[in-house]
Amino acid sequence: MEYFAQQVFNGVTLGSIYALIALGYTMVYGIIGMINFAHGDIFMIGAFIAMIVFLILVSLFYSVPAAVALVVMAIVAMLLTALWSWMIERIAYRPLRGSFRLAPLITAIGVSIMLSNFVQVVQGPRNKPVPPMISQTFEFYGVVVTLKQIVILAVTSVLLGIFWFLVNKTSLGRAQRACEQDPRMAAMLGIDVNRTISLTFILGAALAAVAGTMFVMYYGVISFSSGFIPGVKAFTAAVLGGIGSIQGAVLGGLLIGLIEALWSAYFTVDYKDVAAFSILVFVLIFLPSGLLGKADVEKV
């Protein structure tokens, strides 16, 4: 029983990272109906920025408290990654918003390749190790819990709470929901649709940057290709929970993390990705809109 509880906790930790990334997918899709396949690489850029900031802090100061380092890493990564995402939306996506549906999709794939190759050229193709930041562990009834896992769960919970408040209780959230329902009518009512979409990209990138910071802290290694698999898993989580549903993105991320952890614990680790995608296919056969998604109603 302790082993099962251990793997559940590990799965929830991993799923929290997926949930933060998945929110970016589901927000952009909810407003403009576009799958931003470059979002995984935005996550990777955020992780690299966090790593660089940490190395700079360590080189300038002999001993930096882990809490201070993490806060500085997350803030800088959020700001710079949000800037990257804003530029990508402004240059690559906005001019194609009124074109045929495949154009933004192809552009997103091109942006993803461009970002990964840019990081490969700048940082090199090898894995970049990061010195351990937090090493404390605790044991509760036979379950080993690391301080890193507690930090990830706490940060994710706080950010999800802030994000829920932002979407449901602020003017930006009302503008996002209006643009999701009918962008033209929202523009007629005085909502700046372009600004709302740009802010949505910025928010999604900021959450991905925090996920990248947590990824670097948890695994201690990053490479130019580290955005692909987590990006695909987060996209799978968004689809599993119901693309366009914020609660669905969180639920899907946790489920994908749990499936991976439990499959790796009781079966071979080589097929954990197959298990996650098989569950997705099984769910979509019976629930095409995902677990919490709503069926699209075509307007005529």
Q: Cβ atoms within 10 A of the Cβ of 86, count?
A: 15
Residue 214 lies in a domain: yes
**Contact between residue 234 and residue 22 where contact means Cβ atoms under 8 Å apart:** yes
Eight-state DSSP code of residue 269 = G
**Contact between residue 244 and residue 30 where contact means Cβ atoms under 8 Å apart:** yes
Q: What pLDDT sits at residue 47?
A: 94
Residue 135 lies in a domain: yes
Q: What pLDDT sits at residue 35?
A: 84
How far apart CA 9 and CA 21 sit, in angstroms, is: 19
Residue 285 lies in a domain: no
Q: What pLDDT sits at residue 222?
A: 92
**Contact between residue 26 and residue 244 where contact means Cβ atoms under 8 Å apart:** yes
Q: What pLDDT sits at residue 295?
A: 60
Amino acid at 276: A
Residue 118 lies in a domain: yes
Residue 157 lies in a domain: yes
Angle of the 272-286 helix axis to the 246-266 helix axis, nearest 10: 140
If one counts the domains in the chain, the total is 1
* Strand-pair category, 137-140 with 143-146: antiparallel
Q: Please report the sign of the dihedral spanned by the C-alpha atoms of residue 112, residue 253, residue 195, residue 158.
A: negative
Q: What pLDDT sits at residue 300?
A: 44
Residue 8 lies in a domain: no
Note down the domain range covering 133: 19-224
Residue by residue, pLDDT tens for the chain (300 residues) are 788 889 999 999 999 999 999 998 988 888 878 888 899 999 999 999 999 999 999 888 877 888 889 999 999 999 999 999 999 999 999 888 878 778 888 899 999 999 999 999 998 888 998 888 888 888 887 788 899 999 999 999 999 889 888 888 889 889 988 888 888 888 888 899 999 999 999 999 999 999 999 999 999 899 998 998 899 889 989 988 888 788 888 999 999 999 999 988 888 788 888 888 888 888 888 888 888 876 655 544
Q: In 230-259, which positions are buried (b, 16+ CB within 10 angstroms) versus exposed (e)? A: bbebbbbbbbbbbbbbbebbbbbbbbbbbb
Residue 161 lies in a domain: yes
How far apart CA 255 and CA 201 sit, in angstroms, is: 25
**Contact between residue 42 and residue 24 where contact means Cβ atoms under 8 Å apart:** yes
Q: In 169-193, which positions are buried (b, 16+ CB within 10 angstroms) versus exposed (e)? A: eeeebebbebbbeebeebeeeebeb
3-state secondary structure of 140: strand
